[in-house]
Structures are given as structure tokens and as C-alpha cells.
Amino acid sequence: MSNRANNFRPTVHGARLIEDLATFASFGGRQDGGVDRVAGSQADLEAREWLQQKIYEAGLLPRTDEIGNVFGRSPRAEWPRLLTGSHTDTVPAGGRLDGAYGVMAALEVLRTLDEANHPSAKYVEIVGFWDEEGVRDPGTGGLVGSTFFCEKGYVQNYQSYIELHIEQGPALESADVSIGVVAGIVGIERYAIDVTGTANHAGTTAMNNRADAGLAATTMASRVRDTTTACSDRLRINVGSIEFFPGSPNVIPGQARMIVEIRDPFDSVLREAEQKIRLLADETAASEGCHASVQKFSQKSAVLFDKGIHRAIREIIHNHGGEFLDMVSYAGHDASVISKHIPTGMLFVPSVGGVSHSPAESTSDKHLIHGCQVLLDAVVALSSDRS
């Protein structure tokens, strides 16, 4: 590939991208501006049929795999290919951009490259993954389409994957920066802490002679935030529920159960936080004459994206005089599944008010169009980096 060809920089058609996003949002569209397009619904089926039609109308070749992921490529496509896209489904009463933006932007990027006869058009394929949210069957934990794509081994045909997504948080808006280059996705761990004391009469038992599991659990809950955030200022912790048993006004709780979730970009920090949670549980329970047992019932390891892709994306933005924020994602994405198999990178655009999974989900047209152009620049840089 000649340098001359590589230096030529096509510009995405912003108005076309915005129009496609509006049309796509009409599949499952709600009066309040939100979208109901749960995977497996009629709206989901129609949206994915429309996407294939749109790919075809652009002079590209659409196809689906056995599970319903939708792909598009140039008729002149060659291997190896860079894959870019996101997911087509939403949560119930979701927004119009989560997932859909990355798919529509990928279509706009490939369409622009193909129309411009750009050499990179041959080496790019786009994807709309099916069922990322996992609403259809919560037992799956989501990421169904991308997991299928990897388990079948199809992922091995591709050189790399880039996903453009809305941030779903407030960091970019707060920093007034239009692009986030995502270094990785946080690990997420969930713990059940069971405290055992002695159930007894709430009136006749002296205050200094109680093994109150409820008091031990609430004391733990009030301390666990400070205890764990001391490990790292990036750590996020949530006490999602506390239950007392038997749960009666006249019985001292003999049992209490607390559910705690922690998130951090580094597994080493999660290990340290886990130790602190276990120590806190033991000490607090003992001080109330109770016993605690801590069980980790769910664990998703932290994901670190490919350093080479991360660096290349930062460079390309820098070379075009743009600003970006280095960040980690506190939410899961298809990119986390793919990154276990091929070099992967992610880009974020700002979410107004940090709101997502809601009809109020929004990003300015300016940021949507700019993000799409950065995706094109990144795709060109990375797909021509093979010789």
C-alpha cells in the first residue's frame, strides 16, 4: 500500500450518520424518545433486517451468522480484516445510542471508505452483535452474540477489533473532552456476607448480652466503603442489599445477609479489597459476638486492551490535533469478550449527564459525528498497519 493512498483522509457524512441513527431508533421506538429493542423481540428482528438492507444499499455485502450477528463488508474485501461495530439490542426502556451508535458509525465508516475507493475499505468488516444486554435470558449474563462469535472460532479470522460506544458515565462531559480512549474494562466481583448471631427475645434479653447479627451487618456496611476505597481511588463499591432473619420487630436478628459488589481496573486491587472485606467481616462479627462467612459468588476479571492499539489510537487523534481522555470502562462491553482472542481497542464519546440505559440517553450530534470520524481515522491507521 502506498503512502499516497494512506495519507488521503476521507470525511464521514455526518448528516447521513444522524439520519441512520434516527431510523434505527424507530425500531422499538418509544414516545419518550427511548427504545425497547430487547434481543429476540419483533423490533430486534426488524432492526437487524433493516441493517442488512442498509448494508446492501450501500453496495456492500451483508450476511448473518447462525445466532443472528449481522456483518457487512466490501465486495472487494480481502483478509486479514479489522472488525468494528457494537451491539444492536437495548435494555427495556433503553436509549437510542447504547450499542446502536457503534454499529451505525461502523456502517458510515465502511461506506465512506468504500465510496472513496480507499485502500482500507478492503480490510474492514463491520458487525452488529446480537444480545449484548442479556435481558432475553438473564442466566446468560449477556454478551451472547460476541461470545458465540468467539466460541465458534470465527474471531480468529480477524486481525483486530475496535468498538465505538457512548461512555455511559460523566467523565468526558466533566472534563469537556469529546473522545475517550479506553485502556480496559474493570473487573467486577460480588460477595455474599452471612452473619450468624443468636436469635432471641428482643425485650427480655439484656442489651449487653446479645449476639445481634443485624447490628454486626449494618456496622460492616457502614465501614466497608472507607475500608476498601483505601486500596485505590478508582475502586467502586456498592452494598446492594441487607436482609435480617427472621425479620420480626420482637426478635433479635439471628442471621443477616449482605451483598457487596466491587469494581476496579486492576485485579491486584480487587485481591487487596477482598482481603480487607474478609478481615472487616471477621472483626466486626466477633466484636458483636457473632460469626461471619464471606462467599464470592461472581467474578469477572479486569480486561486490559491491547497496548499497541491503544497507543496507535492516541497517536492518530494527537496527529489530527484532537484531544482525548485516557479512561477505563466501569461497564461491560462486547469488546471485553473479543479482547481475549484478538488485539482490541475501544473509543467513547460523551454521554449527556452521564445517563444511559434510559430513554434520556443522549449525545450531541457534534460529538457523535466527531467520534465516527475518529473511528474512521483509527480504522485506516490500524488496517494499513499490516505490511
Binding-site annotation: residue ranges for Zn(2+): 87, 98, 133, 165, 357
Cβ 132 to Zn ion shortest distance, Å: 6
Half-sphere exposure of 223 (CA within 13 A, CB side): 17
Q: Give the whole-angstrom CA distance, residue 59 versus residue 231.
A: 53
| Dihedral (CA of 32, 169, 148, 299) sign | negative
Q: Which is nearer to Zn ion, 99 or 184 (CB)?
A: 99
Q: Which is nearer to Zn ion, 99 or 214 (CB)?
A: 99
Known binding site: residues?
Answer: 87, 98, 133, 165, 190, 250, 263, 357
Cβ 142 to Zn ion shortest distance, Å: 9
Burial (CB count <10 Å: 0-12, 13-18, 19+), residue 143: buried
Burial (CB count <10 Å: 0-12, 13-18, 19+), residue 298: exposed
Cβ 26 to Zn ion shortest distance, Å: 19
Span 207-246, contacts to Zn ion by CB under 5 A: none
Nearest alpha carbon to residue 116 among 5, 15, 21: 5
Cβ 287 to Zn ion shortest distance, Å: 43
Cβ 336 to Zn ion shortest distance, Å: 11
Span 25-54, contacts to Zn ion by CB under 5 A: none
Q: Which is nearer to Zn ion, 292 or 368 (CB)?
A: 368
Number of Cβ within a 10 Å radius of residue 201: 9
Cβ 87 to Zn ion shortest distance, Å: 6
Cβ 191 to Zn ion shortest distance, Å: 26
Whether the Cβ atoms of residue 288 and residue 320 lie closer than 8 Å to each other: no
* N-to-C CA span, the chain: 8
User: DSSP letter string over 116-164?
Assistant: TT-GGGGGEEEEEES-SS--S-GGG-S-HHHHHHHHTTGGGGEEEEEEE
Task: Look up residue 168 and give its three cell numbers.
Answer: 455511559
Q: Which is nearer to Zn ion, 237 or 303 (CB)?
A: 303
- Asked if residue 334 binds Zn ion (CB under 5 A), the reply is no
Q: Give the whole-angstrom CA distance, residue 250 versus residue 381.
A: 69
Span 79-138, contacts to Zn ion by CB under 5 A: 98-99
Task: Measure CA 346 to chain center.
Answer: 10
Q: Which is nearer to Zn ion, 99 or 254 (CB)?
A: 99
Q: Give the whole-angstrom CA distance, residue 348 versus residue 179.
A: 6
Cβ 179 to Zn ion shortest distance, Å: 17
Whether the Cβ atoms of residue 344 and residue 335 lie closer than 8 Å to each other: yes
Known binding site for allantoate: residues?
Answer: 190, 250, 263
Binding residues with Zn ion: total (CB under 5 A):
2
| Dihedral (CA of 100, 101, 102, 104) sign | positive
Q: Which is nearer to Zn ion, 128 or 254 (CB)?
A: 128
Q: Which residues bind Zn ion (CB under 5 A)?
A: 98-99
